[in-house]
Amino acid sequence: MPTDAALFTPNLTGRDYTTPDLRAKLTGAARYAEDFRAEGMLACRLLTSPMPHARVARLDTRAAQGMPGVRAILTADELPPPADSVADSGATIKASPWAEPALSMEPLHQGAPVLAVAAVDDATAVAAIEAIEIEFAPLPFVTDPLDSLRPGGPDARTGGNVWLPPARAGEQAAVGRLKWTDEDFRAAGPGRLPMGKAAAEWSYGDVEAGFRQSALVLDESFVTPNVSHQALETRSTLAWWENGKLFLAAGTQSTIQTVPAIARWLNMDPKDIVFLSEYTGGGFGGKITASVSVIIPALLSRKANAPVMLRVTREEEQYIGRARPSLAGRMKAGFSPEGRLLALDLFVVQDNGPYEQQHDAAIAGRMGSLLYQPQAMRWRGVPVLTNTPVRGAQTAPGGLQVSAFMGPLLAKAARRLNLDPLDVCRINAPAGRAPVGPPRPDGTLNAATSAFVREALDKGAQAFRWGERRARPADAGTVRRGIGVATGCFVAGTVGFDGLFVITPEGRLRIHCGVGNLGTESFSDVQRVLADAMDVPWEACEILWGNTARHLPWSCISGGSQTIHSMSRAALAAALDARRKLVGIAAATLGGVPEDYDVGGGRVFRRGDGRGLSLGEAARRAIELGGAYDGHECPDDVHGMTRTAVAALAGQGLVAVARDAFPRDGQSYSYVAAFAEVELDTETGMYRITDFHAEADAGRVVHPRAFGGQMVGRSMLGIGHATTQKWFYDTRYGLPVAKRFHQTRPPTILSMPERFTWGAVGIPDPQTPVGARGIGEPPTGAACAAVLCALAHAMGDDAFIRAPVMADAVLAAMEPENGKNRANRPRGLSANV
């Protein structure tokens, strides 16, 4: 699609500005969920499971019930059955019996909520929980996916251990049982991931022929860590009821889309839910919509007939927050002498956690096919259930892991083939409308809307001075340097959402925004496009967000970095609707036909003589004219929730509302090329990242500072996976020993690379009229892999079998006799050691 200059002239778009939410964040005025207070508010605390898998054998709450100040106790039998849901396509999605319940008498991981108490204060609620008599009968548990796949290995759930795809078309995936044979494990040998029967697979091209033609075939295994999201704001929630309506204050990534999610959990009408979430203290995929922390206080509040605040502690957040699944990967890859990837056979075992199927393993296959463009590829995956905390999508789910798998592999291939790793990245990089797996039923592949990864690699290499660094002689002494380059990619946009704003009689633009505000600033950034398309100054715009009582339109979830793409299109669509209505009003008011008029400079005016109306005058006329002009009529193609909002706004001014119906051919992805240099002290195992550069291919940059914030922040997230963040488990008891920040080690400000720079190639995506794609996800995989490549460059290609690489791993690689080279130990392919 050509970018039509008449639709959109970037003026504010592409420039820095101060977002409307920032001042409150800096003065303490911003209210996050736990900052709310309500008259008569009760404190809610959870009784959680001490065991990885158990059945509650005895429960006696009488002593707690009888305590003064205890107002209500909520148990699992009081939960409503979750409702089926309806996809945007209209298809019914049946409520899954395998889904995470808010409370359970058969907890599937330590920290799983069993019941909840509401009391007049926190101390009383705590005392009540300690007064509850409860006995747990232990059940078999497993915390390592490979243990569960062994013959006779334990199942995380009584119904099975693996997510299996639907047996027949039209059915839903379900949990079943899958065990491998002893021979499967024996065949792998030490340090290699066994490959038994997969739960799902796909392929294209002739993989075996590709290997036969290859000059080099590598067979690598690697394990990525389980990493909790650990948003700084835990998922505390305040719930109260008024006249049959449920009010909730909670952090979320997606304001409007959270409402139907809550409605489904509670089996109630979305119209009866008001959701407040003006500020959210971080999400990273962990707060995409609702979770059990919203459901529990909602039900307790109804039962106790008082507002209920569930304050979620940091340790509880570790349990009922979300985490990225560890993936164990085995990659067989065949290369031409020039380093071209001729065939890739990727096998992935996923630590799924106990509940809903996670898609990291599958997405790893898809992103691998796009990012490295193998001429033939097979993907196989097994999502294995474990009795560990609940997983969820985390920034570039599957995308990060496949970069961590493949980045070091490409670098190793380069060294084996005596090539520059940069050239191997380059020769395999997607370009233009690059094909992407898995294959469609007819065997053909999907295509990306665009890719300019070579441009990013070239520009980045120049900024990083890759060639110069590569030419430097090898180090002598105990300090070693290593450099690495790697790429990352992820989904970066969806289509079909709604834009909505009102031109008020005062001539201002009141923009209704259903996007969550989790700090990426996209809720505001996309409106810059709207202001440009309306040719109004930013000061004329006001954004309403974070409260569903403010009549918000149907918006994308703020996950998968789709907002900047999806909602800039929706904003533009609404702006075009406003322009259509403005010229219509002008023609009806001043004579002539709409085509005689144009919109600009805060007016609608006739070309030629300039006669026209101010926006305020036009808004007043819209109210007089009624109908679609002031929202008394609403287009049919917008979402039902948007229609509800429009009905509420009718008569307030010129109501602009439209669904994004701009065409798009292909799937939208964004890409990052990352470059890292490490200095590693082989005597202590400590290292630091001295230089780091990330170069983005994410289309047009809408808000440079916010874009840079994503480039740095999401790179740091990937660097955390490469350097310090992981879980540790006691395998005998199936319990985590690392639960606090100082044990799970999120990066600090001093973990930053010494020099950190970023750039963007900035070529607009041709398949969206704004030209912008999302940037939140792809830096993670690129950064993680670039650092792993640099470490492998410093320490040797086979030094590390898992990420993160901490001092103990470096020292073990230096002196395998002391560390007994853990790659060769029985737990060598476990993530949590």
Partner 1 sequence: MCDHDAAMSRPAGMTRRQFIRSVIATGVVSFSVPLLPARGGAAARTAPGTVERLVTLTVNGMRRRVDVLPNETLAQTLRGKLGLTGVKVGCDRAECGACTVLVDDVPVYSCSTLTHSVLGKAILTVEGLASPGGELHPLQQGVLDEQGFQCGYCAPGFLMTALGYLKTNPDPTRQQLAHGVSGNLCRCQDYDKILTGLLRGAEYMRRG
Partner 2 sequence: MATVRDGMPHFDLYQPDSVEDALALLDRLGRGAHMDDGTDGPLRAWVLAGGLDCLERFKDRIRRPSAVVDLARVGALRGVRREGDETVIGPMTTLAEVARHPDIRERFGLLAEAAAQVASPQIRNQGTLGGNLSQDARCWYYRGGWPCYRAGGNICYAAAPGAMNREHAVFGARRCVAVSPSDTAPALVALEARLVIRNAARTRMVAAEDYFLGPETDITRLTVLEPDDLLVEIRIPPTWAGTRFHFEKVRDRPVWDFALASIAAAMRQTGDRIDQARLVLGSVAARPWRLPQVEAALAGRPREEAADAADLAVRGAVPLAHNGYKVTLARNLARRAILGQPPGAPSLAMGASGLMGAPDPSPARQTGKEAS
**Which 689-728 positions form the footprint of partner 2 (CB under 8 A)?**
690, 724, 728
Q: Which does 507 bind (CB under 5 to 8 A by kind): partner 2, partner 1, none?
A: none
Partners of 757 in beta bridges: 693
The binder of partner 1 chosen from 11, 30, 431, 648 (CB under 8 A): 30
Query: What would the DSSP string read from start to end of 595-608?
Result: GGEEEETTEEEETT
The binder of partner 2 chosen from 267, 313, 444, 462 (CB under 8 A): 313
Tell me the C-alpha distance between 166 and 241, whole Å. 40
CB atoms within 10 A of CB 92: 9
Residue among 558, 45, 272 at smallest CA distance from 262: 272
Tell me the C-alpha distance between 457 and 765, whole Å. 18
The piece of 181-189, 281-289, 545-553, 809-817 that touches partner 2 (CB under 8 A) is 809-817
The piece of 122-130, 465-473, 557-565, 582-590 that touches partner 1 (CB under 8 A) is 122-130
Residues 6+ apart with CB under 8 A from 734: 51, 52, 53, 110, 141, 142, 143, 387
Cα distances (Å, whole numbers) of residue 18 to 31, 280, 521, 566, 765: 19, 18, 10, 22, 26
Regarding 21 and contact with partner 1 (CB under 8 A), the answer is yes
Partners of 694 in beta bridges: 674, 758
Regarding 105 and contact with partner 2 (CB under 8 A), the answer is no
Chain mean position to CA 261: 17
The binder of partner 1 chosen from 160, 592, 594, 747 (CB under 8 A): 747
Regarding 593 and contact with partner 2 (CB under 8 A), the answer is no
Regarding 16 and contact with partner 1 (CB under 8 A), the answer is yes
Regarding 319 and contact with partner 2 (CB under 8 A), the answer is no
Q: Which of residues 31-90 bind partner 2 (CB under 8 A)?
A: 45, 47, 50
Nearest distance from residue 22's CB to partner 1, in Å?
Answer: 6
Chain mean position to CA 711: 15
SS3 of 749, please? helix
Residue among 131, 118, 123, 108 at smallest CA distance from 48: 108
Q: Which does 376 bind (CB under 5 to 8 A by kind): partner 2, partner 1, none?
A: none
The binder of partner 2 chosen from 745, 773, 793, 802 (CB under 8 A): 745
Tell me the C-alpha distance between 739 and 425, whole Å. 37
The amino acid that residue 723 corresponds to is T
Residue among 427, 445, 422, 433 at smallest CA distance from 366: 445
Nearest distance from residue 52's CB to partner 2, in Å?
Answer: 13
Cα dihedral value 512, 516, 520, 524, nearest 10: 0
Tell me the C-alpha distance between 669 and 433, whole Å. 11
Nearest distance from residue 517's CB to partner 1, in Å?
Answer: 8
Regarding 627 and contact with partner 1 (CB under 8 A), the answer is no
| Shorter beta-carbon distance to partner 2: residue 209 or 738 | 738
The binder of partner 2 chosen from 35, 78, 122, 272 (CB under 8 A): 122
Q: Which does 119 bind (CB under 5 to 8 A by kind): partner 2, partner 1, none?
A: partner 1
The binder of partner 2 chosen from 24, 123, 187, 661 (CB under 8 A): 123
SS3 of 395, please? coil
Q: Which does 787 bind (CB under 5 to 8 A by kind): partner 2, partner 1, none?
A: none
Q: Which does 811 bind (CB under 5 to 8 A by kind): partner 1, partner 2, none?
A: partner 2
Tell me the C-alpha distance between 651 and 665, whole Å. 37
Q: Which does 687 bind (CB under 5 to 8 A by kind): partner 2, partner 1, none?
A: partner 2
| Shorter beta-carbon distance to partner 1: residue 248 or 308 | 308
Inter-residue contact 225 to 189 (CB < 8 Å) = no
Inter-residue contact 38 to 724 (CB < 8 Å) = no
Nearest distance from residue 337's CB to partner 1, in Å?
Answer: 40
Q: Which of residues 48-67 bind partner 1 (CB under 8 A)?
A: 50-51, 63, 67
Q: Which does 416 bind (CB under 5 to 8 A by kind): partner 2, partner 1, none?
A: none
Partners of 381 in beta bridges: 200, 348
Q: Which of residues 599-638 bind partner 2 (CB under 8 A)?
A: none
The piece of 222-230, 361-369, 559-567, 745-753 that touches partner 2 (CB under 8 A) is 745-753
Length reported for the chain: 833
Residues binding partner 2 (CB under 8 A):
45, 47, 50, 122-123, 126, 129-134, 313, 315-316, 478-479, 679-681, 683-688, 690, 724, 728-733, 737-739, 741-743, 745, 747-751, 754, 806-808, 811-812, 814-815, 818-820, 832-833
